Amino acid sequence: MNENIITVNINILGTKTTVFCVYAPSNDKVDLEKDKFYEKLNETLIKIGTTKEIIFLGDFNGHTGTKVNNQVVGSYGETRINDNGESLIDLCKSHNLRITNVYFKHKMMHKYTWEQHTQKLKSIIDYIIVKQKPEFQIHNVRVQRNINCGSIHYVVRAKVYLPTPERTSNTDKHEENHEKFMYLKYNLDSFQHDSTQYLYKKMTRRKTDSKRGF
């Protein structure tokens, strides 16, 4: 496995997921090194297949630009694009992946993931990437500037809603039982008979005595 690509397989509430921790070569590296990196990413994705969920986390050293009504790139990123960004977009197109950072509208200070204060440089190069139609839902992605991680990179946080099959199953079962209860019919007229009243009083007295310890 390439030292710049680390994969971790986890199970999230029954959903098999592969998490990629990625550090891509900088854009000024030779084309051969960058091509090998994306070839390795592509090969790894092919081996994983389409049954697992995919989450990419890391520094891709790429600018992906902005697009409107696009399945890979959203309209809230930076306008510039470079070779690494184009390679990342091509990879995402091939495997139906989405660069989530640029789909949520925030102030630019909450979008820039990297900032070099001495040279007054800032950019979006760290991404959270998932399938275009994942099992979970991404509700928000933004930079957390108040977290100090000892780097010129900022922490990127995603708000994720995970599937809860057990909870859904229990809810369905509860609704099903409720429907059955609503359609139960009781013969209330039988309480008008002496025999029914006698049995009811006898059963009630027996339960009361058992609680008292008789």
| 8, HSE (Cβ side, Cα atoms, 13 Å) | 9
Q: Number of C-alpha atoms within 13 angstroms, CB side, residue 191?
A: 5
Instruction: Give the pLDDT band of residue 178 (cuts 50, 70, 90).
Output: very low
Residues in the chain: 214
Name the CATH superfamily for 5-166. Endonuclease/exonuclease/phosphatase (3.60.10.10)
Instruction: Count the Cβ atoms, other than its own, within 10 Å of residue 53.
Output: 18
Structural contact between residues 124 and 113, judged by C-beta atoms closer than 8 angstroms: yes
* CA-closest candidate to residue 5, choices 49, 60, 53: 60
- Give residue-wise pLDDT tens across range 14-71: 889 999 999 999 999 999 999 999 999 999 999 999 999 999 999 999 999 999 999 9
**CA nearest to 45, candidates 66, 65, 69, 20:** 20
Q: How crowded is residue 28: how many other Cβ atoms within 10 Å of its Cβ?
A: 10
pLDDT digits (tens, 9 = 90+) for 96-146: 999 999 999 999 999 999 998 888 899 999 999 999 999 888 999 999 988
